[in-house]
Amino acid sequence: MRITLLLWFAALGTAFAHIGSPNVYFEGTAGPYPVRVIVRPPGVVPGLAEINVRILDGDADRVTALPVYFRAGREGAPPPDLAERVRGETNLFTATLWFMESGAYSVDVSVEGSKGKGTVVVPVNSVAMTRNSMKPWFRNMLLALGSLLFASAVWLSGAAFSDSILEPGVPLTSKIRWRKRFAMACSAIVFAGLLTVGKLWWDKEDREYRTNRLYKPTPMRAEIDDRGGQPFLQLALNFSNRRRSGPLIPDHGKLMHLFIVREPESDVFAHLHPIRAGSSNFQAALPPLPEGKYQLYADITHENGFFETLTATVELPALPQSYVALWKTAGRSEVICSSVGASLNLTNFIVAPDMDDSWHIAREYSFAERRSRLPDGLSMTWESNLTFRLLSPEGASLPVEPYMGMFGHAVVRHKTGSVFAHVHPVGTFSMASQQFFLGATNTVSHKHPTNAITSVSFPYDFPRTGPYRIWVQLKSQGRVYTGVFDTTVQGSTYTGVPIASSLTNNSAFQFASRKQP
């Protein structure tokens, strides 16, 4: 029997969509009901996922959860599971669902009540991500039980060839005693052999799990290429996993959302949108970033609804001055809304920048716990939970505009790089994947409020303790502003049930988290 401590996988190895942050957060409306859904996928497949549904406004009588596998669709789905109301709560429901296969699932959450009925579709990846270690007490218990079974089996073998074949009351003779010892010795060898076979079998199963079943992100290689004296970023993806590979589909308009962060200070950040250059290659124009080693995170969604975050590193040399000069706004440290700057220069670039590319080069004052200073005298404040607000130099709240279809983008990164998440006000899932599960005829309807939005909330919960840096991108008056915040998360970070917050008049998206910045 194999009793060994299994290795913890490095956090990067446990990535799928996002890094080290497996829970899926959703916030939207199920018919007349605003809801927040948290899906905690199992670490293994098949495994049991936990679904929490909080009704943010109104009373629901019945909440159900339905697992839908990408290949089978809703025709291949079982009857929905009834979510139970959490004891002591009026608007919180919970359910568990089995994910039996690897690949993209959606959880269809339906809410029924006096206001009517509505359904939301929450896409989730089902992949094996963890490889548990065996706790010492558990290992010792199994060892003790195994030893007891081994010793008693050997004793039973001896008894089978001695005491048991004697007539009642007849004592053991010397010959039978020796036979008993011989039987025990032989059986000990046989049982030890069986244990060895068992261990080899266990090893084989473990190897098979690590090699074939444990999720590994699609490998990505990054390098800086040069054409006509202009450097650009070249990404090569290796779609070797046939079960997961497939054409990519755009997520809010882009095939890839690439985030790059300079190591080790995390002082430079860029949000780029590489374009496809061949079947598995992507290219992106390089913004005028300083030289250094960069960590890359690329969010992609496959045609089958599976979404993942790929990682790579690249060493960026000092960019030629002639190239930097192409960027009209070079030398500015703040994020630009490139639709203005880049459009003027598009024809000058060998690899054209994407209109929605943005980046941020930090100055000392950029980092803040509560307030991040921005260009033009603006600032961004972090209010309760993950709610942010843009302020004018006079301190008045500025209206926020959609940026690539979202009222905001937040990138959460643990200082060690072990956690990375790209969060929108609607959640952490891929909108493209959601569209896949909704079907071609249904379009996603993330209703934008008609009143002016002055604060944006992101539904997210920090998965582990430690220091984090958060980049928040909000667009106002045609420009994208990136606020940078630092925080340290302490203590237990997840209870599975976030605290509800109430809707306010000037914020369409609310989030509640246990952690305070």
The contact set with other proteins (CB under 8 A) reads 6, 42-47, 67-69, 71-72, 76-79, 98, 100-101, 105, 128, 131-132, 134, 138, 141-142, 145-146, 148-149, 152-153, 155-156, 159-161, 163-169, 198, 201-202, 205-206, 209, 213
**Is 488 in contact with 345 (CB distance < 8 Å)?**
no
Q: What is the DSSP letter of 258?
A: E
**Cα separation, 328 vs 332, whole angstroms:** 9
**Which one, 168 or 228, has the nearer CB to other proteins?**
168
**In the complex, what is the shortest distance from the CB of residue 71 to other proteins, in angstroms, rounded to a whole number?**
6
**Which one, 209 or 365, has the nearer CB to other proteins?**
209
**Cα separation, 39 vs 41, whole angstroms:** 6
**Is 352 in contact with 285 (CB distance < 8 Å)?**
yes
**Which one, 169 or 395, has the nearer CB to other proteins?**
169
Closest to 419 measured CA to CA, from 291, 311, 292? 311
**In the complex, what is the shortest distance from the CB of residue 147 to other proteins, in angstroms, rounded to a whole number?**
11
**In the complex, what is the shortest distance from the CB of residue 217 to other proteins, in angstroms, rounded to a whole number?**
19
- Between the alpha carbon of residue 107 and those of residues 16, 69, 114, 123, 204, the distances in Å are 17, 9, 23, 6, 34
**In the complex, what is the shortest distance from the CB of residue 431 to other proteins, in angstroms, rounded to a whole number?**
22
Strand partners, 225: 232
Pairing status of strand 281-285 against strand 275-276: antiparallel
Structure tokens at 409: 């983008």
**In the complex, what is the shortest distance from the CB of residue 406 to other proteins, in angstroms, rounded to a whole number?**
30
| Angle at which helices 174-208 and 136-160 cross, to 10° | 140
Structure tokens at 412: 């959460």
**In the complex, what is the shortest distance from the CB of residue 69 to other proteins, in angstroms, rounded to a whole number?**
4
Closest to 12 measured CA to CA, from 207, 217, 214, 265? 217
**Which one, 68 or 472, has the nearer CB to other proteins?**
68
**Which one, 142 or 324, has the nearer CB to other proteins?**
142
**In the complex, what is the shortest distance from the CB of residue 180 to other proteins, in angstroms, rounded to a whole number?**
11
**In the complex, what is the shortest distance from the CB of residue 143 to other proteins, in angstroms, rounded to a whole number?**
11
**Which one, 66 or 237, has the nearer CB to other proteins?**
66
Q: How many residues does the chain have?
A: 517
Residue with tokens 């984090």: 468
Closest to 350 measured CA to CA, from 236, 234, 223, 231? 231
**Which one, 45 or 298, has the nearer CB to other proteins?**
45
**Which one, 56 or 159, has the nearer CB to other proteins?**
159
**In the complex, what is the shortest distance from the CB of residue 165 to other proteins, in angstroms, rounded to a whole number?**
4
**In the complex, what is the shortest distance from the CB of residue 78 to other proteins, in angstroms, rounded to a whole number?**
5
**Which one, 181 or 227, has the nearer CB to other proteins?**
181
CA atoms within 13 A on the CB side of 170: 11
Strand partners, 95: 51
**Cα separation, 356 vs 327, whole angstroms:** 15
**Which one, 183 or 412, has the nearer CB to other proteins?**
183
Residue with tokens 């072990």: 418
Residue with tokens 């960019």: 319
**Is 99 in contact with 105 (CB distance < 8 Å)?**
yes
**In the complex, what is the shortest distance from the CB of residue 495 to other proteins, in angstroms, rounded to a whole number?**
20
**Which one, 128 or 431, has the nearer CB to other proteins?**
128
Backbone angles phi, psi at 178, to 5 degrees: -65, -35
**Is 448 in contact with 402 (CB distance < 8 Å)?**
yes
